[in-house]
Amino acid sequence: MFAALSDRTRRSLLSRLQKSPLKISDLAAPYDISLPAVSKHVRVLERAGLVRRSIDGRVHECTLETAPLETADAWLQRHRVLWGSTLDALAAFVEEDDS
């Protein structure tokens, strides 16, 4: 998932999907890249579980899936507490050592 989020275009696509589901053609409209390139980005997001695509004939509609983002956020929150306390302890140690 983090690899999928590392690309600026994919993050932008997800931001657009926050508002509502969109057809691939509508999702691609503001970008200066080809429709196949946008579709490739969507496939990466699908594999990461961040987008669900429904197909009705030739119309592909994409919907944002928030569950993986919520899971990642929970993981980051747990580690942020650990990292924060570790860095606070290091800062306190360095300040004591400077005295």
User: What does the pLDDT read at residue 13?
Assistant: 96
Q: Is the pTM of this model over 0.85?
A: no
In the predicted model, what is the mean pLDDT of the chain? 89
Q: What pLDDT score was predicted for residue 50?
A: 96
Read off the CATH number of the domain in which 5 is found.
1.10.10.10
What pLDDT, on a 0 to 100 scale, did the predictor assign at position 97?
63
Mean pLDDT across 22-42: 94
Q: Give DSSP secondary structure letters for 28-47.
A: HTTSSS-HHHHHHHHHHHHH
Mean pLDDT for the stretch of residues 8-12 = 95
Same domain, 44 and 92: no
- Distances in Å between the alpha carbon of 32 and those of 14, 22, 37, 54? 17, 17, 10, 24
- If asked whether residues 10 and 21 sit together in one domain, one would say yes
Rg (CA), the chain: 20
Same domain, 61 and 75: no
Do 42 and 17 touch, CB atoms closer than 8 A? no
**Amino acid in the structure at residue 63:** T
3-state DSSP assignment of residue 96: helix
pLDDT (average), residues 63-86: 84
